[in-house]
Amino acid sequence: MAKELWEGNAAIAEAAIRAGVEAFFGYPITPQTEVLEHFSKRLPELGRVFLQAESEVASINMVYGAACAGARVMTSSSSPGVSLMQEGFSYIACSEVPAVVTNIMRGGPGLGNVQPAQGDYFQAVKSAGHGDFHMIVLAPANVQEAIDLMVLAFDLAEKYRTIVMFVADGSIGQMMEPAEMPPMRPVRPPEERPDWALTGAQGRKPNIITSLYLGAENMERVNLRLQAKLKEIAANEVRWKEYSTEDADLLLVAFGTVGRVCQTVVREAREKGLKVGLLRPITLWPFPSGRIAELAEQVRGVLVVEMNAGQMVEDVRLAVEGRRPVRFYGRMGGPIPLPDEILPEMEKLDAECR
Amino acid sequence: MATVEIPADMELVYKYPESLTEAHTHYCPGCTHGVIHRLIAEVLDELGVRERTIGIAPVGCSVLAYYYFNMDFAEAAHGRAPAMATGLKRVSPDKVVFTYQGDGDLAAIGTAEIIHAVNRGELFTTIFVNNAIYGMTGGQMAPTTLPGQVTTSSPYGRDVETAGFPIHMAELVGQLPGAAYVTRQAVLDVPGIRRTKKAIKLAFQTQLAGLGFSMVEVLSTCGTNWHMGPLEALEWAKEHMVEYFPLGDTKMTDRVRALKEGK
Ligand SMILES: Cc1ncc(C[n+]2csc(CCOP(=O)(O)OP(=O)(O)O)c2C)c(N)n1
């Protein structure tokens, strides 16, 4: 298929449609409303389900219900709405039904603003809801990657019967870029829904989907099973991209929009004679800790750049385990860190690590 | 379960519903949840839809309802059953979907979810058990607790000046255009139990005919947290709850009436 000009948010919705999403439940919030609007136009014309819910609490529970039925389903929101969904994330994780959620992050805390930000890293990666669980967290850096990861999100959600969060920021959601859509996958017919799903106990024992395990031992057994699954995900699904790391002796780590900005930083730094490489995590959970640990052996120092007060940098430090200095540069609440600001930080790191 | 040969000259008129499992319930002696479970099960058997019914249990004393109903079941977060039922039914329009909810679940934490599900005319059925108290957490004030009623969180009696008035959910929900059939019944004596069963049947028939949302509010007892014996609790409910929560239909569209009258 040829490249077309796509706006990020519409592309995310269309990619989900191509991936066979059967239902979307959501609530408007900037800067992701175009996701909902695209679904509202496309899903009815395809005979699929679109519903504007009364709140994000309702939309995530509609997703939970439809996921229990074994349907491919998703919701989408932005930071304040995602906070409201966290109860649902926890129930979905424990019940082990597949669901996809996008967070087109905006400035916070509180109502914040509608500018691009990455302040929800901790929420997505470390504290998605109460209890012990992780979501798989995917972070695209451009519109094409957003499309590709959206398709992957459904496959991972169903493969592991887990919740997959797709985090981007408003700048990816609202930028226009040439990108290629995958071909339309047929929607899975209801008679092919998975055997664990609630489809009516016809000629079989009833299926029960619950997150309630009253006995201590019982609850621990479920937790151990969930942890084993997370371990398997961590072993198989780590994704990242590297730029000019082969000979690098200074490492940049950045994700999403900032990861993209840092590609320019690598180029400009190299023009100045600094051997800088970039690692851009694509899965924020599971985190590419192993590869960062390897690169820590190779480089003199690491600079992490984010659109927050320093969140992913904690995971980088955990991976580096004190082998090398790990420094941080960030902007909060809307400003995107630009190469002109990042380059001096890189030079400082270079001087520090001589 | 024991099976018994039925002699040729006899007819089976009453049996254990297929829609119930053989599990013993954990409900307190005298609790009416068990009666209501049984009525739903009998209705689903009679309608022949057990194998395509999906229930959604609430958070409350009936949180484990899925152990007692012999059909596919999900367990919702507190108050969210109507949102789950919405998602489930929208992607499975040929299934029969119902939520089973208490008054804390439906009329406090889940008010937004029920109101909007009704307003959209979602094609599922809600069985709403009103026992005027939070049973599971040990007898705190519910949105349906009567004025002056003493609970563990209204030790001086519910003061309507500070805690508001009991909510009339059947009336509230019945007002919405998405509702096709809404009624309040009581399982406090045998005639009431029979009427409740008829109402539950009509509610499911409303769903099967695709006529809109249906809800049966059932006045119920909680002897344990009311600190009464089972019979005393039934009497108290008849004397005090029925007065405050009048029995009868709060919504019946013409099409539901025609269905009821067999037209
Ligand atoms: C979010 C959340 N808040 C509070 C609770 C605690 N809780 C469990 S059951 C319940 C009240 C249930 O009362 P009701 O719906 O009237 O049902 P009953 O137990 O009386 O049948 C509460 C407050 C919870 N489980 N989840």
Contact (Cβ atoms closer than 8 angstroms) between residue A280 and residue A231: no
Which tokens hold the place of B250?
Answer: 């709060």
Mean pLDDT (chain B, rounded): 97
pLDDT single digits (tens) A241-265: 999 999 999 999 999 999 999 999 9
Question: What is the reported pLDDT for B14?
Answer: 87
Contact (Cβ atoms closer than 8 angstroms) between residue A268 and residue A244: no
Secondary structure of residue B12 in the 3-state scheme: coil
Strand order from edge to edge, sheet including A49-52: A49-52, A23-26, A73-77, A99-105, A163-169, A136-138, A283-285
Q: Classify residue B53: in a domain, yes or no.
A: yes
Question: What is the reported pLDDT for A259?
Answer: 97
Give CA–CA dist A112/B263, Å, rounded.
58
Give CA–CA dist B244/B148, Å, rounded.
12
Separation in Å, CA of A75 to nearest CA in chain B: 11
Residue A169: left if φ>0, alpha if ψ -120 to 50, beta else—which one?
beta
Residue A170 has pLDDT above 90, yes or no: no
In the reported structure, the alpha carbon of residue A78 is separated from the centroid of ligand 1 by a whole-number distance in angstroms of: 29
pLDDT single digits (tens) A97-120: 999 999 999 999 999 999 999 999
Q: Classify residue B11: in a domain, yes or no.
A: no
pLDDT single digits (tens) B73-121: 999 999 999 999 999 999 999 999 999 999 999 999 999 999 999 999 9
Any ligand 1 atom below 6 A from CB of B79: no
- Residue span of the structural domain in which B179 resides: 33-260
Question: What is the reported pLDDT for B199?
Answer: 98
Question: What is the reported pLDDT for B27?
Answer: 97
Give CA–CA dist B40/A122, Å, rounded.
45
Domains of chain A: 4-198+226-235 (3.40.50.970), 240-352 (3.40.50.920)
> In which element (H, E) is residue B142 found?
none
Give CA–CA dist A255/A240, Å, rounded.
9
A101 contact B CB<8A: no
Which tokens hold the place of A161?
Answer: 């019967």
Give CA–CA dist A109/A105, Å, rounded.
11
B105-144 residues touching A, CB cutoff 8 A? 112-113, 115-116, 120
Question: What is the reported pLDDT for A350?
Answer: 97
The residues that bridge with A277 in the sheet, in sequence order, are A251
Cβ-based burial of B212 (10 A; exposed 0-12, middle 13-18, buried ≥19) = buried
Name the one residue in this structure whose structure tokens are 């902007």: A331
Instruction: Show the CA angle centred on residue A69, arms to residues A64 and A70, nearest 5°.
Output: 95
Please tell me which of the candidates B51, B76, B112 has its beta carbon nearest to residue A200: B51
**B96-102/B53-57 β-pairing:** parallel
Task: Dump the DSSP string for B193-253.
Answer: HHHHHHHHHHHHHHHHTT--EEEEEEE---HHHHT--HHHHHHHIIIIIHHHS--EEEEE-
> In which element (H, E) is residue A241 found?
strand A240-243
Q: Classify residue B108: in a domain, yes or no.
A: yes
Mean pLDDT of A195-209: 98
Residue B2 has pLDDT above 70, yes or no: no
Give the closest residue (by CA) to ligand 1 atom 2.
Answer: B78
pTM of the model: 0.97
Residue A341 has pLDDT above 90, yes or no: yes
CA A267, A272, A275, A277: dihedral to nearest 10 degrees?
Answer: -30
Question: What is the reported pLDDT for A243?
Answer: 98
* Cβ-based contacts of B94 with chain A (< 8 Å): 190
What distances in angstroms separate CA A273 from CA A178, A266, A285, A352, B197, one per listed residue? 33, 10, 34, 16, 83
CB contact under 8 A, B84 and A198: no
Which ligand 1 atom lies nearest to the CA of residue B59? Answer: 9
**A301-306/A250-253 β-pairing:** parallel
Any ligand 1 atom below 6 A from CB of B131: yes
Q: Classify residue B95: in a domain, yes or no.
A: yes
Contact (Cβ atoms closer than 8 angstroms) between residue A40 and residue A67: no
CATH of the domain at B37: 3.40.50.970
Q: Classify residue B157: in a domain, yes or no.
A: yes
Give CA–CA dist A162/A153, Å, rounded.
10
Contact (Cβ atoms closer than 8 angstroms) between residue A14 and residue A150: no
Q: Classify residue B24: in a domain, yes or no.
A: no
Confidence of residue A204 (pLDDT cuts 50, 70, 90): very high
DSSP state, residue B105: I
Please tell me which of the candidates A25, A54, A190 has its beta carbon nearest to residue B87: A25
Residue B15 has pLDDT above 70, yes or no: yes
Domain count, chain B: 1
Give CA–CA dist B114/B215, Å, rounded.
10
pLDDT single digits (tens) A304-318: 999 999 999 999 999
Q: Classify residue B2: in a domain, yes or no.
A: no
Q: Classify residue B9: in a domain, yes or no.
A: no
pLDDT single digits (tens) B166-207: 999 999 999 999 999 999 999 999 999 999 999 999 999 999
Mean pLDDT of A120-133: 97
- The two most distant CA atoms of chain A are separated, in Å, by 72
CB contact under 8 A, B80 and A199: no
Contact (Cβ atoms closer than 8 angstroms) between residue A213 and residue A222: yes
Which tokens hold the place of A234?
Answer: 């961590």
Give CA–CA dist A346/A329, Å, rounded.
10
CB contact under 8 A, A199 and B83: no
Give CA–CA dist B159/B231, Å, rounded.
27
Amino acid identity, position A317: R
B80 contact A CB<8A: yes
Confidence of residue B5 (pLDDT cuts 50, 70, 90): confident
User: Which has the closest alpha carbon to A116: A257, A295, A312?
Assistant: A257
Question: What is the reported pLDDT for B1?
Answer: 59
pLDDT single digits (tens) A25-68: 999 999 999 999 999 999 999 999 999 999 999 999 999 999 99
